[in-house]
């Protein structure tokens, strides 16, 4: 079974960055004349906690509710029921929505939908400008953000001429320039080739490890979840299970019941077990698999 982390809201410390308690959300279904005809519950009683500096991955197949929940973290959607705090700000407090969005930036699936400027450095400057950051500070932030995502040499290029991975790194730089404490990425690599995916993932990991930015990654690529501190798996608007990567992916049968894959190394270990070969299911990397197979060979 997947392990469950018990949540004690009464004793949360200052490191807790996100606190969700019984969050539910209903989409309204309209008829042909625009009246609300019915509602569809997309989230049901979501309880979770995320500490500052965590690298969190939320998994789930299409329609599981993971993107709906992601939009709550940036107050693009507000809970129908329950409470959600981000950096001690109640997301339902409309008076503090800009404070919230300074703390938690959002990167979406398609970078083209986020690009509005004709020059890269102008694109990255857009967010800080809207926050009222002084001009001298904006110049510094843009330079710093582009350096962080290793795109400084493209400062005067047109975003339209960049590759998909480069565009997504520019989108991330635009959020970084706003100096958020948390970045929510909603399937940022879904439209990228393997090279572009690696570029974006390397950037995400750097921001988390070197800059201590809290990362919440929504994805359906299992390999992207391997290095997470903690994983939440969603199904039909619920948290189906949660735990550290090794625990989550070792329960192959549960993941398959949730219509999800597991990393290729875990799938290989699972198939080897079916053949009677003693390989543990908590192997997440190729290096770990090679080491284990070498140990087994050495014993024979």
Q: Where are the domains of the chain?
A: 18-262, 263-300
Alpha carbon distance 239, 237 (integer Å):
7
**Angle CA 266–269–274, to nearest 5:** 130
Residue 177: is its pLDDT beyond 90?
yes
Residue 65: is its pLDDT beyond 90?
yes
Question: Chain-wide mean pLDDT for the chain?
Answer: 89
Instruction: Please tell me the predicted confidence (pLDDT) of residue 11.
Output: 38
Q: How far is CA 36 from each of CA 31, 33, 42, 227, rounded to the nearest angstrom?
A: 6, 9, 16, 43
Nearest Cα residue to 44 out of 19, 12, 80: 80
**pLDDT tens digits, one per residue of 210-245:** 999 999 999 988 999 999 999 999 999 999 999 999
Nearest Cα residue to 86 out of 49, 131, 128, 45: 49
Residues in a beta bridge with 217 = 57, 185
Alpha carbon distance 269, 290 (integer Å):
11
The CA radius of gyration of the chain, in Å to the nearest whole number, is 21
CATH architecture, domain 18-262: 3-Layer(aba) Sandwich (3.40)
Residue 300: is its pLDDT beyond 80?
no
Half-sphere exposure of 164 (CA within 13 A, CB side): 14
Alpha carbon distance 130, 143 (integer Å):
17
Mean pLDDT along residues 171-181:
92
Distance, first Cα to last Cα, the chain: 32
Instruction: Please tell me the predicted confidence (pLDDT) of residue 1.
Output: 41
pLDDT band at 166 (very low <50, low <70, confident <90, very high): very high
Pairing relationship of beta strands 55-59 and 214-219 according to DSSP bridges: parallel
Q: What are phi and psi of 61, to 5 degrees?
A: -75, 175
Instruction: Please tell me the predicted confidence (pLDDT) of residue 297.
Output: 76
Instruction: Please tell me the predicted confidence (pLDDT) of residue 112.
Output: 86
Q: What are phi and psi of 185, to 5 degrees?
A: -120, 115
Our separate counts of H helices and E strands in the chain read 10, 10
Answer whether 0.85 is exceeded by the pTM.
yes
Q: What are phi and psi of 27, to 5 degrees?
A: -85, 140
The length of the chain in residues reads 300
Mean pLDDT along residues 107-116:
86
Alpha carbon distance 202, 188 (integer Å):
12
Instruction: Please tell me the predicted confidence (pLDDT) of residue 131.
Output: 84
């Amino acid at each position: 079974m997947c392990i469950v982390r018990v949540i004690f809201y009464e004793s949360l410390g200052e490191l807790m960055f996100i606190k969700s308690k019984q969050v539910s959300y209903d989409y309204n279904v309209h008829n042909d004349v625009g009246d609300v005809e019915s509602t569809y519950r997309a989230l049901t009683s979501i309880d979770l906690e995320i500490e500052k500096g965590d690298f969190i991955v939320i998994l789930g197949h299409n329609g599981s509710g993971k993107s709906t929940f992601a939009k709550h973290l940036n107050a693009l959607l507000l809970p129908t029921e329950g409470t959600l705090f981000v950096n001690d700000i109640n997301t339902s407090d409309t008076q503090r929505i800009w404070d919230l969005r300074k703390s938690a930036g959002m990167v979406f699936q398609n970078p083209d939908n986020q690009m509005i400027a004709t020059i890269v450095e102008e694109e990255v400057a857009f967010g800080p400008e809207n926050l009222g950051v002084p001009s001298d500070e904006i110049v510094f932030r843009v330079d710093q953000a582009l350096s962080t995502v290793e795109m400084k040499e493209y400062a005067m290029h047109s975003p339209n001429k960049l590759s998909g991975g480069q565009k997504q790194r520019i989108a991330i730089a635009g959020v970084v320039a706003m100096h958020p404490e948390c970045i929510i990425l909603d399937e940022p690599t879904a439209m990228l080739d393997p090279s572009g995916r690696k570029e974006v993932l390397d950037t995400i990991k750097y921001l988390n490890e070197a800059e201590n930015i809290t990362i919440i990654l929504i994805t359906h690529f299992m390999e992207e979840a391997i290095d997470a501190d903690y994983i939440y798996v969603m199904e039909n608007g619920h948290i189906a299970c949660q735990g550290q990567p090794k625990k989550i992916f070792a329960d192959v049968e549960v993941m398959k019941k949730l219509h999800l894959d597991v990393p290729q190394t875990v799938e290989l270990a699972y198939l080897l077990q079916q053949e009677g070969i003693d390989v543990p299911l908590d192997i997440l990397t190729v290096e770990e698999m090679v080491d284990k197979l070498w140990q087994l060979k050495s014993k024979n």
